[in-house]
Chain A
Amino acid sequence: MINPNLIFAVIFFPILLGTIIVLAPIKSRKLMLALSLATTIITAVFAWILILYPPKDAVVLFEFVSKYTISFKVDGLSRVFAGLISFLWPFAVLYSFEYMEHEANENTLKEKTFFGGYVITYGVTLAIAFADNMLAMYCFYEMLTLVTVPLVLFTLSDEAIKATRMYVVYSLGGAAFGFISLIFLMNYGNSLTFALGGVLSGNGLDGRDNVLRLIYVLAFFGFGVKAAVFPVCSWLPKAGVAPTPVTALLHAVAVVKSGAFAIIRLTFYAYGVDLLKGTFAQYIPMGAALFTIVYGCSMAVKERHIKRRLAYSTISNLSYVLFGVTLMTPLGMTGAMTHMVFHGVMKIAAFFCAGAIIVKAEKHYVYELDGLAKRMPWTFVIFTISSLAIMGVPGLCGFISKWTLAKAAVENGGIAGYLGVGAILISALLTAIYMMQMLLRAYYPLEKPVETEKCDPSFRMLIPLGVFTVAMIVLGLFSDPLIKFFENVAGGII
């Protein structure tokens, strides 16, 4: 049996080591890189041990007063989220080695801040994943905002400063709504500890059902800031000014999916679907999610900056997850988890390709891509596969996650369900437009390109990309066991 105290280790080891990397006077770049990679890998290994052999008990870090604690536990949903980030993080660090060489211009101080922050963020995200109650999740959720500030601010350009300001204001503002919800849950819930089905059942709500529903809606949009739901999504494309490893891992997976994860916790584990289903508390968030799905894609079609285009695509895809959540059925939750994981893999691959294009070929805009596929053959093979996956071509993982979501929506039936299917399909078409436009330009240039020398990145960037490509195909073909697992999580069996 695994000692549950290991949870502390996987959370605080990277936070501690990350702080050391930032503060300690390390001169050698190699040592710093080795330290970051080693920390991430060790943490990931132990995180995987926890995920595969979850200890049953919760561990308490801190006790405020009797009922209110900061405690951690490994349950089904945390295994899903922690598994996703623990799979991606080591590869992202490996990828950053080469990328940051270009981005930081051998400024060791800057690089130290970056890698330190990157490692710390891992610990904080794991803490969110393993949080056992609303209070613990809320604390680390706030912390996540703070530790990622230096990463967004990285270039120190005007643009970066503006983006960071916006990010902080939006996130902290959103968290305030989360805090209001926390207070209400403290007052009306049996306990703050997450339990599938919610914590509100049992004692009388004194006829305050509608107030609680309103608070849920507020908290949905509060946590929705990180999950980039309309109308609080505009920080995400702006934050694309950060280095690509940050945009790829944090703004396509870790940070934004913490938002989605928090909303799943809020909906299924805190308020409970019994209170929310069939009321305005279901329809308002669902409407917002559906609108965001189409809105994100439309903006992506309009956007000509590659990274910002992918960021808009992320906005749209995150709302797929939220749509699954707002269906408020076990199937919907399964779909949400599936898309959370699968989208993470395919979007990080797409972003890493975009990063390779930015540092190696120094192209930032879609119209500059003409003929680039000849110069970066490997990058574009992977970019093509990830694009097809995001579009949802059968055989790749995107098809499966859309399938699970659509199955949930059709099973749900009614106008809401079919509107959801419609939104997913419209967005799939728009996705085809904005992804294929880039690919066709790269593969079919109109004129003979002037520059012809090859500029594919080295193996340190290609290995992560290759691994994600294999993952996209494997998840597309052998998804069944994983989806069964998600179904069990949603059904409360695991």
Chain B
Amino acid sequence: MFTLFTLNESLSMAYKVDRISVVFLIAIIILWIVAGIYSAYYMKGKEHLKRFYSFYAVLFLILVFMALSANLFTFYMNYELMTLCSVSLVMHEQTKEARDAGFKYLIYSFFGAYFVLFGFYVLNKYCTSLTFTMGGTLDKSLVAGNEGIVLLAALFMIIGFGVKAGMWPLHAWLTTAHPIAPSPASAVLSGVIVKAGVVGIIRSLYFLIGADFIKGTWVQTAFSILTLMTVLLGSALAFFEPVLKKRLAYSTISQVSYILFGLSLFEDAAFEGSLLQFVAHAFAKCGLFLVAGLLIIITGSVKVEDMKGVGKKYPVLLWCYTILSLSMIGIPPTGGFLAKWYLIEGSLRSEFAAFAWVGPLFLLVSALLTAGYLLPLSMKGFMPGKDFEYTKEYVKLPKKAIVPIVILTVLCVLAGIIPNLFTGGAL
């Protein structure tokens, strides 16, 4: 552990590398590079580029430091800075909608951050140290008799970090803020920044409070209910959403809660599944948003129904879209399939009352819905029907627009074949 700076006896800025940091770092670095390449095409000729790339770069550094954080203070500090910097990406277009969306994003995020802060204050009293240690650092003698407040703190941290991860009932900002940003920004927002909330929950539950303390309590029940609600709700809302980028944002809400559901089980296989879903979703969702950006440029429309027949002219693009969608649904040989497999296996093994079998049921229904909202675009894209008239217009897509999407698709498949490469686990 490397201590950079000590503020006082309980607060310091310290960094270290462990498994969670590595998984998070992989997602950050890969996504930042591919979305960066893509933005060279997408952002060309747009205004305020200097501002966009400054914040893009600063955000990268903040995320790297967040991934490497060794204690709660360092993590929380970077977490707040991340919120403040990422709002600039959301509001980049400077329209009324963009500014309102940015404001909504900011307020929801701070709402969550202050819930976390409550947990922070409480844990400062009841933990022996705020350094992340697998298994937790609770001071058993202090906690005795005060379990209630520590559990409340745990719930508040789940809800607080859950805001960033789009967990119901505080998910509404996500579908406003993500679609309005420029596509490369939506890609990293949905791919990485929501995951900061997930990492926050992992860090606080597994590394500070300790899985043993929460397992079997009402907090675990509440956490599971919230995540399962979100899984289903996100999918259902995506199913009825006509605007492509919004549909993808709803999909993020649902898919990220798969990860959280796995965490709520406190079971090894589920934890591995969560980590793999973490990486696979990052690749897939980033890729889908990049595709969405191109489709909007090509068709000049944001709605799915106007995107018929694009497969004929842009086969690579649509094939990538389809494979990434398969990962979202959970069909082999993609990372998403393996992740969901382990999540369900973990759930069945967990002996966690009704959730052991209700959970998998929810995941399967959600998978059906996911197929229902993602695949129609593929089908209509390749097979628009007899009556469809192809227009002559053709937007030339340069390599820097297509290659990032292909890379992400390949990675998504690789995650299904050699998952250990990305999660460092022993699946």
Seen from chain A, the residues whose Cβ lies within 8 Å of a Cβ on chain B are: 388, 391, 393-395, 400, 403, 406-407, 409-411, 418, 421-422, 425-426, 428-429, 432-433, 436-437, 440, 444-446, 477-480, 483
Closest chain A residue to B125, Cβ basis: A410
Residue interface mask B63-94, A partner, CB < 8 A = 1: 00000000001001100110010010001001
Size range of the chain B interface in the assembly: 20 to 34
Chain B residue contacts of A437, Cβ below 8 A: 103
Q: How far is the CA of A406 from the CA of B122 in the complex (A)?
A: 9
Q: How far is the CA of A478 from the CA of B106 in the complex (A)?
A: 28
Q: How far is the CA of A458 from the CA of B17 in the complex (A)?
A: 47
Partner of B77 from A394, A422, A440, A445 at Cβ < 8 Å: A394
Seen from chain B, the residues whose Cβ lies within 8 Å of a Cβ on chain A are: 5, 7-8, 11, 73, 76-77, 80-81, 84, 87, 91, 94-96, 98-99, 102-103, 106-107, 110-111, 114-115, 117-118, 121-122, 124-125, 149
Question: Beyond A440-B102, A480-B8, is A429–B107 a contact (Cβ under 8 Å)?
Answer: yes
Task: Tell me if A's interface is mostly helix, strand, loop or mixed.
Answer: helix
Closest chain B residue to A405, Cβ basis: B121
Chain A residue contacts of B84, Cβ below 8 A: 388, 393
Chain B residue contacts of A444, Cβ below 8 A: 91, 94, 98-99, 102
Chain B residue contacts of A421, Cβ below 8 A: 118, 121
Q: Is the CB of A407 within 8 A of B121?
A: yes
Chain B residue contacts of A478, Cβ below 8 A: 7
Q: Is the CB of A440 within 8 A of B8?
A: no
Chain B residue contacts of A433, Cβ below 8 A: 107
A374 to chain B, nearest CB (A): 11
Q: Is the CB of B76 within 8 A of A394?
A: yes
Show 21 A/B contacts (Cβ-Cβ < 8 Å), sorted by A.
A400-B7, A407-B124, A421-B118, A421-B121, A422-B118, A425-B117, A425-B118, A429-B111, A429-B114, A440-B87, A440-B91, A440-B102, A440-B103, A444-B91, A444-B94, A444-B99, A445-B94, A446-B99, A477-B7, A479-B7, A479-B8
Q: How far is the CA of A395 from the CA of B103 in the complex (A)?
A: 23
Question: Beyond A425-B117, A429-B110, A479-B7, is A440–B73 a contact (Cβ under 8 Å)?
Answer: no
Additional pairs, 12, CB under 8 Å, beyond known A406-B121, A444-B91 = A394-B73, A394-B76, A394-B80, A407-B121, A411-B125, A428-B114, A429-B110, A429-B114, A436-B103, A437-B103, A440-B102, A480-B7
Q: How far is the CA of A486 from the CA of B41 in the complex (A)?
A: 57
Closest chain A residue to B124, Cβ basis: A407
Q: Is the CB of B80 within 8 A of A410?
A: no
B233 to chain A, nearest CB (A): 25
Q: How far is the CA of A483 from the CA of B10 in the complex (A)?
A: 13
A233 to chain B, nearest CB (A): 24
Q: How far is the CA of A378 from the CA of B241 in the complex (A)?
A: 44
Chain B residue contacts of A406, Cβ below 8 A: 117, 121
A34 to chain B, nearest CB (A): 41
Q: How far is the CA of A347 from the CA of B110 in the complex (A)?
A: 21
Q: Is the CB of B149 within 8 A of A418?
A: yes
Chain A residue contacts of B98, Cβ below 8 A: 444
